[in-house]
């Protein structure tokens, strides 16, 4: 009786471990990091990196980096985002895809142009926004670079 109970307990623990491993391997956590750069005119650019941490041992990493142009009034005017997917192996890393998106949050602003590119371990998005009041307009350009280290760390 005691031997049967021990064998049953051991089998239950083994089966539980087998069925729990895939669930743990798929666990993903979103993380963000934000920095702010203040400009001479009182405006500022807030840059946020969003990436996903997983406890699975995979050699790919994806994430995004957004720079938002805000006025000295504290209101966001426009933003550009780069999305990148990378492979890494502990020695090198490589960008496998890059895309961009833009948003406008305030009147008198519009996106004039935007582009995305990839090179080596970097995904890049560039956008130019135009601020127009009556007949006067000014262009502002933001370039966002998302880098991946050989260890899968995005910056």
Sequential pLDDT tens for the chain (155 residues): 444 444 444 444 444 444 444 444 445 667 888 899 999 989 999 999 988 766 556 688 889 999 999 999 999 999 999 999 999 998 999 999 999 999 999 999 999 999 999 999 999 999 999 999 989 999 999 999 999 999 988 99
124: Cβ–Cβ under 8 A, 6 or more apart, which residues? 82, 98, 116, 117, 118, 143, 144, 145, 146
DSSP string across 40-91: TTS-EEEEEEEEEEESS--SEEEEEEEEEEE-TTS-EEEEEEEEEEEEE-SS
Beta carbons of 82 and 107 less than 8 angstroms apart: no
Residue range 32-51, pLDDT digits in tens: 888 999 999 899 999 999 88
Q: Is 25 helix (H, G, I), strand (E, B) or coil?
A: helix
CA 91 to chain centroid, in Å, comes to 22
Q: Where along the chain do its domains lie?
A: 28-147
Give, in order, the Cα–Cα distances in Å from 28 to each of 51, 84, 94, 124, 147.
Answer: 10, 17, 22, 25, 20
Quick one: pLDDT at residue 52?
74
Quick one: pLDDT at residue 55?
58
Question: Is the pTM here over 0.95, yes or no?
Answer: no
| Alpha-carbon radius of gyration of the chain | 23
Closest to 118 in 3D by CA, of 62, 58, 54, 53:
62
Q: Cα dihedral sign for 87, 90, 93, 99?
A: positive
Give the Cα separation of 123 and 90 in Å (integer).
Answer: 19
Beta carbons of 117 and 97 less than 8 angstroms apart: no
**Fold of the domain spanning 28-147:** Immunoglobulin-like (2.60.40)
């Amino acid at each position: 009786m005691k031997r049967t109970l021990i064998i049953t307990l051991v089998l239950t623990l083994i089966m539980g471990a087998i069925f729990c491993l895939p669930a743990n391997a798929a666990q993903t956590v979103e993380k963000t990091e934000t920095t702010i750069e203040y400009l001479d005119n009182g405006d500022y650019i807030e840059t946020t990196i969003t990436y996903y941490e997983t406890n699975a041992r995979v050699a790919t990493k994806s994430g995004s980096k957004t720079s938002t142009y805000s006025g000295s009034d504290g209101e966001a005017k426009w933003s550009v985002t780069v999305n990148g997917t990378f492979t890494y192996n502990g020695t090198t890393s490589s960008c496998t895809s890059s895309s961009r998106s833009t948003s406008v949050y305030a009147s008198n602003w519009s996106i004039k142009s935007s582009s995305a590119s990839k090179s080596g371990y970097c995904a890049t998005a560039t956008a130019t926004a135009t601020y127009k009041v009556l007949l006067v307009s000014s262009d502002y350009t933001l370039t966002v670079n998302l880098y991946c280290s050989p260890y899968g760390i995005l910056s």
